[in-house]
Amino acid sequence: MTTIPIARAPLDTAMVFAAGLGTRMRPITNHIPKPLVEIGGRTMLDHMLDRLAEGGVTRAIVNVHHLADQIETHLKGRTRPEIVISDEREKLLDQGGGIRKALPLIGDADFFICNTDAVWLEGPHSTIAAMREAWRPAEMDILLLVAATSGSVGVDWPGDFHMAPGGRLTRRAEREVSAFVYAGVGIMRASLFADAQEDVFRLAPYFFRAAEAGRLHGLRLNGQWLHVGTPEAVEEAERAYARPAA
């Protein structure tokens, strides 16, 4: 019997990274996986999935490793977006390797990437929808959501990128300070991974290669970014959620 491939809308799929050990979040993550830590009464994983659904993403591929059963159980009742589990219980693959393993699920279309410790206070419009609108594959290999280094919660490093007026990103050099941090969400071309051979590899080198080729762009977050990577950042993020809207 011939299998007819399912036609998917552009940018309807996201790779959601939920497999990490959350070592900086210990002792919280000794018993709870980092994506299930709550901010403002909702898990960070649900915050991300809510943003994706609001922005038109209909399918989220969620990789699991550390305390994977808890994440799978938590997601069982979730229908929007559709959840597909990429199981990394046997071996933690890092983000690049996680994408490579999930490529049969992703297909050959452009897709979102999402960190689960990236939470933000949304502006008046959907950030995910804005990224879809900003994506120009003829000019870009990767589009990253970036936030102002100053004013973001939980940022304890001197930024990641410089951004030109047209949105092109360049990497911050060592000992430099840059105005923008990577806010944990992006859009990538699946074809970037066509020649990947290793099982375990990082994602950041793909960003840097795209920057060197002039094909890494950024979209500035219209809102406040909360990088929830430590127990102290959880407290800061809770205070940010508790503040009344301006």
- Phi first, then psi, for residue 167 (nearest 5°) are 100, -5
192-209, pLDDT tens digit by residue? 998 888 999 999 999 999
How many H helices and E strands in the chain? 6, 13
User: Could you say which DSSP state residue 153 is in?
Assistant: B
Q: Quote the Cα angle for 53-55-60, to 5°.
A: 45
Q: What is the pLDDT of residues 1-22, one digit of tens each?
A: 344 444 445 799 999 999 999 8
Estimate the crossing angle of helix 127-134 against helix 44-54, to 10 degrees: 50
Residue ranges, the chain, pLDDT below 50: 1-8
Rounded to the nearest 5°, which phi and psi values hold at 243?
Answer: -70, 140
Buried b (16+ CB within 10 A) or exposed e, 195-207: eeeeeebebeebb
**pLDDT at site 244:** 55
The pLDDT tens digits of the residues spanning 213-234 come to: 999 999 999 988 988 888 888 8
Q: Show the domains of the chain with their CATH numbers.
A: 13-242 (3.90.550.10)
pTM of the model: 0.91
